[in-house]
Amino acid sequence: MTALYRGKILKIYNSLYIVVNNATNEVVTCHKQKKIEKIVVGDNVFYEKNNDTGNILKVEDRNNCLLKPEVANVDQVFVVASAKSPIISNYQLDSFLVFFNDSTTRPIILFNKLDLVNLEYQEQTKLYKNLGYECHWISAENLTEENRVFLLSKVAGKTVVFAGHSGVGKSTLIKKLFPEAEIKIGEISERLKRGKQTTKQTALYYISNTNTFLADTPGFSQVDITYFTKEEIKNKFFEFSQYQENCKFGNCNHLKEPNCGVKEAVAGNQIPKTRYDSYLKMIDLIEKNKKR
Ligand SMILES: Nc1nc2c(ncn2[C@@H]2O[C@H](COP(=O)(O)OP(=O)(O)OP(=O)(O)O)[C@@H](O)[C@H]2O)c(=O)[nH]1
Ligand SMILES: [Zn+2]
C-alpha cells in the first residue's frame, strides 16, 4: 500500500491542486480522484504520491467555507477598517461584519490608521466592542512591537483572512506581520509556470514561522450582501437576538411590525441606531435586488 499524506489546498489551477504537506511543508502538485466532487482552497485532504505528483483521495469535512472567494476552514477573519483615507462608514463596516459573521467564526475588527485621527475615533468605534466584537486600534504603517507580537499571536497556527475596503491598509499590515510572505508567493507561482490559470480564485500562503495559512487579499476588498436572504441578514445582527423575545410576533423582522422588541431597544439606545440603520439598508438592498 502506498503511503497516505495529509495536506492543505493552497491554490487551484484548472484541474491541478497545490497542496502543502502538514508534516514536512513540502508543496506537491496533485490531481484529484474523479469521485471527489469539489475541492476548494483551504480544504484538508489526504493524498498519495507517485513520483513528483500527488493524487487526492479524500477531502475532510469542512468546518466552514467563505463565499466569494471560497476558502474553507477559515479560523479567523480580520475585518480592517480605517479612520481616514478612506473613511469607512458604519454601514460599510457592518456589511463586512455581516458577510464574514457565521456560526463558527466572528471577525476581529482592526481599526487602522490611528495615527491620522484623534482619540474621538476610538470613542466612536467603541460601540463594536460593546456589541461583543474583539476590536483593536492600530497603525499598520507604524505598527508597534507590542501590536505586532499580539497580532502574530492571533494568527499563529490558524488559517486567516484579512478583509476590508480597498486602501484600508491590509497589504501594509500583512507585510509588517509576515515580511517573508512575498517569498512564498514567488515560490508558488514558479512551480506553476506551466499551468495557466483561468478561474479567478484566491490562494493561501503558508507561513512556517507562525504556522499560518494566509489568504491572498484580492477578492476580500468587496462584499456582496445580496448573496444572503433577509432571514440570514437578520440572524447575523446577533445583538438583536436578546431583544427578539420581546417582539409580539415570533417571526418578527423588526421592520414595520408593531410591538417590536428590537425597535424598542433601538429607541432605548440598547442597540446602536447605526446598526439598525445598516440592517434596514441591507434589507432594502436585498428587496431591490430581488425585484430586478
Ligand atoms: N497614515 C497611515 N497610512 C497607512 C496605514 N496603513 C496603511 N496606510 C497607507 O494606506 C494606503 C493603502 O494601504 P494598502 O495596504 O495598500 O491597503 P489595502 O487595504 O491593501 O488596499 P487594496 O490592496 O486596494 O485592497 C497606502 O498608501 C499605505 O501606505 C497607517 O496605519 N497609517
Ligand atoms: Zn421585532
Task: Rounding to the nearest 10 degrees, give the CA dihedral for residues 141, 146, 148, 153.
Answer: -160
What pLDDT was estimated at residue 119? 85
Contacts of 195 (CB under 8 A, 6+ apart): 13, 14, 16
The ligand with the least distance to the CA atom of 263 is: 2
Report how far Cα 219 is from the mean position of its chain's Cα atoms.
10
What pLDDT was estimated at residue 181? 63
CB contact at 8 A, 213 and 206: yes
CA distances, 291 to each of 156, 278, 285 (Å): 45, 20, 10
Average pLDDT over the chain, rounded to an integer: 90
**35 and 156 share one domain:** no
What pLDDT was estimated at residue 274? 97
* Residue with CA at minimum distance from ligand 1 atom 11: 167
Ligand 1 in contact with 113 (CB < 6 A)?
Answer: yes
**251 and 165 share one domain:** no
Q: Provide the residue range defining the domain that includes 35.
A: 4-59
What pLDDT was estimated at residue 212? 94
CATH number at residue 9: 2.40.50.140
Is residue 136 classed exposed, middle or buried when 0-12, 13-18 and 19+ CB atoms within 10 A define those classes?
middle
Within a 10 A sphere around the Cβ of 244, how many other Cβ atoms? 17
**261 and 182 share one domain:** no
CATH number at residue 122: 3.40.50.300
- Count of the separate structural domains present in the chain: 3
**164 and 193 share one domain:** yes
Give the strand pairing for 53-59 and 27-32.
parallel
Ligand 1 in contact with 168 (CB < 6 A)?
Answer: yes
* Residue with CA at minimum distance from ligand 1 atom 32: 113
Give domain status of residue 220, yes or no.
Answer: no
What is the grid cell recorded at 1?
500500500
**184 and 91 share one domain:** yes
Ligand 1 in contact with 235 (CB < 6 A)?
Answer: no
The rounded Å distance from CA 174 to ligand 1 centre is 10
* Residue with CA at minimum distance from ligand 1 atom 7: 169
Which atom of ligand 1 is nearest the CA belonging to 80?
Answer: 19
CA distances, 199 to each of 6, 13, 203 (Å): 25, 7, 12
Ligand 1 in contact with 144 (CB < 6 A)?
Answer: no
Task: Please give the Cα distance from 9 to 19 (Å, whole number).
Answer: 5
CATH number at residue 253: 1.10.40.50
CA distances, 269 to each of 84, 127, 199, 257, 259 (Å): 27, 11, 46, 19, 16
Task: Please give the Cα distance from 276 to 88 (Å, whole number).
Answer: 17
Three-class SS of residue 188?
helix
* Range scoring the smallest mean pLDDT among 51-65, 158-172, 192-206: 192-206
The rounded Å distance from CA 185 to ligand 2 centre is 48
Ligand 1 in contact with 112 (CB < 6 A)?
Answer: yes
Ligand 1 in contact with 140 (CB < 6 A)?
Answer: yes
pLDDT tens track for 211-267: 999 998 778 888 999 999 999 999 999 999 999 999 999 999 999 999 999 999 999
pLDDT tens track for 99-146: 998 878 899 999 999 999 988 899 999 999 999 999 999 999 999 999
Ligand 1 in contact with 167 (CB < 6 A)?
Answer: yes
What pLDDT was estimated at residue 216? 82
CA distances, 190 to each of 101, 183, 187, 279 (Å): 35, 11, 5, 45
Give domain status of residue 182, yes or no.
Answer: yes
The ligand with the least distance to the CA atom of 116 is: 1
pLDDT tens track for 164-182: 999 999 999 999 999 876 5
**130 and 81 share one domain:** yes
Three-class SS of residue 4?
strand
Contacts of 55 (CB under 8 A, 6+ apart): 30, 31, 32, 33, 47, 48, 49
**75 and 207 share one domain:** yes
Task: Please give the Cα distance from 255 to 257 (Å, whole number).
Answer: 6
Give domain status of residue 32, yes or no.
Answer: yes
Helix, strand, coil content of the chain in percent (nearest 5)? 35, 25, 40
Ligand 1 in contact with 169 (CB < 6 A)?
Answer: yes
Report how far Cα 56 is from the mean position of its chain's Cα atoms.
26
What is the grid cell recorded at 289?
435586488
Strand partners, 58: 46
